[in-house]
Amino acid sequence: MALAALLPACGFDGNSNPDGGHDAPPDGQQCFGAFVRVCFSSAAAIPSAAKTLGDVDIDTDASPECNQDNDQAVKYCVVTGAGLTIMTGKKLTAHGGKALILLSTTTMDVLGDVDVSSHRVGPVRGAGANPAAPLCSFATPPVQPLLGGGAYGGSFGTKGGGGGAAMPASGNVGTPGSETPMFPVPLHGGCKGGDSAVLGAVSEGRGGDGGGAVAFVAVDQIHISNVKVNASGAGGHGGPSGLGNSGGGGGGSGGMIYFDSPKDLLFEGANRMWANGGGGAQGGSSAIAGADGNESIGPTQNAQATLGTAGPGDGGDGSSAMGVGGEGQTATAGGGGGGGGGGGVIHAPGLSGATAISPPSTSLAPSA
């Protein structure tokens, strides 16, 4: 996968005009961040008090934690502090239509877990997942499944897997989208898995949501100690029963995790970060409803497609590391399995190793 230029280590003081493609801010404004630049409406709007976060679930569309006095408030939920700490042993989760930005005008201490992943049960859609076109438009549009074929897995950092065929063959198999994301990219979540052509009640046969997106932005050093940060995609939903051969839904792609600081990140202890794809779902038949796909629970663990009753095709595993989502299986008597979701994108320089980060950290240029 071709990558863009390295992230410049400047751009945190918006009153200068940093290298990174950003224009000078309007008079009286001060801006922070190099990848996603956040400009406050006035000096008085810049946070002056430190913020400490414990166990909290942030609705990025409506939470009062989202600062409204900045130029990114329409696009993102920006949680601000003059010093920001996520407490040890606590967990911050975020869901909703907007991606999450955690911004400190001084230092940041990430001592508790952060979860912006999506889940097939709930439903819970990670912060900023399933963005509209063009962010989830494919260079080569996936072929939609027909009749009993399984649906494709979502694509973002890497491509999702194709769906499996039904038996007897009853239509095209969903094919994955392009594995080439748009660089430089704005902060956004992963892309949804494909829906089966045969849908049942509620969520049957539908694709899993993509993983959410979170950016950690600090003017000074970011300290990360013994935490888990998860931006993985959701598993697909099994094909319905009673409607003939029905394909399984595709797994959602992984999302995005980004650390933005002019100083080297300070890692302590055992840290784990992952933005893996969700597992594809099993197809259904006249008598059997397909099983849903799973979600990834760690950097080294593919989101497995749940194995259901013999007959309909099983889904493909979601991607971990830089792999492609697994292909859905062809059915012996029923609908085909959905493809697994592709991996997302992480920028966390200094964190490496298969047990610590999936996919590996990559460098992205600043966005507009």
Per residue, the 3-state secondary structure of 329-363, as one string, reads CCCCCECCCCCCCCCCEEECCCCCCCCCEECCCCC
Average pLDDT rounded to a whole number, residues 276-291: 91
Residue 113: the pLDDT is 98
256 beta partners: 213, 345
CB 66 within 8 A of CB 44: no
Kindly indicate the confidence band of residue 12, based on its pLDDT and cuts at 50, 70 and 90.
Answer: very low
112 alpha-carbon distance from chain centroid: 19
Kindly indicate the confidence band of residue 4, based on its pLDDT and cuts at 50, 70 and 90.
Answer: very low
Residue 171: the pLDDT is 64
The tens digit of pLDDT for each residue in 237-252 reads 999 998 888 889 999 9
Mean pLDDT, the chain, rounded, equals 86
The tens digit of pLDDT for each residue in 22-66 reads 554 554 568 999 988 999 988 888 999 999 999 999 999 999 999
- Cα distance between residue 183 and residue 189, in whole Å: 14
Residue 216: the pLDDT is 98
Kindly indicate the confidence band of residue 1, based on its pLDDT and cuts at 50, 70 and 90.
Answer: very low
Q: Quick check: 345 pLDDT over 80?
A: yes
Residue 126: the pLDDT is 97
Average pLDDT rounded to a whole number, residues 6-22: 39
Average pLDDT rounded to a whole number, residues 195-203: 90
- Cα distance between residue 275 and residue 35, in whole Å: 19
- The region of weakest confidence among 19-28, 95-104, 226-235, 352-361 is 19-28
Residue 15: the pLDDT is 41
Q: Quick check: 179 pLDDT over 70?
A: no
- Please give the residue that has the higher pLDDT: either 62 or 138: 62
Residue 29: the pLDDT is 66
- The region of weakest confidence among 9-18, 145-154, 160-169, 336-345 is 9-18
Q: Quick check: 5 pLDDT over 50?
A: no
Percent of the chain with pLDDT over 70: 87
- Number of Cβ atoms within 10 Å of the Cβ of 24: 12
Burial class of residue 235, CB neighbours in 10 A (0-12, 13-18, 19+): buried
Burial class of residue 310, CB neighbours in 10 A (0-12, 13-18, 19+): exposed
Kindly indicate the confidence band of residue 6, based on its pLDDT and cuts at 50, 70 and 90.
Answer: very low
- Please give the residue that has the higher pLDDT: either 307 or 281: 281
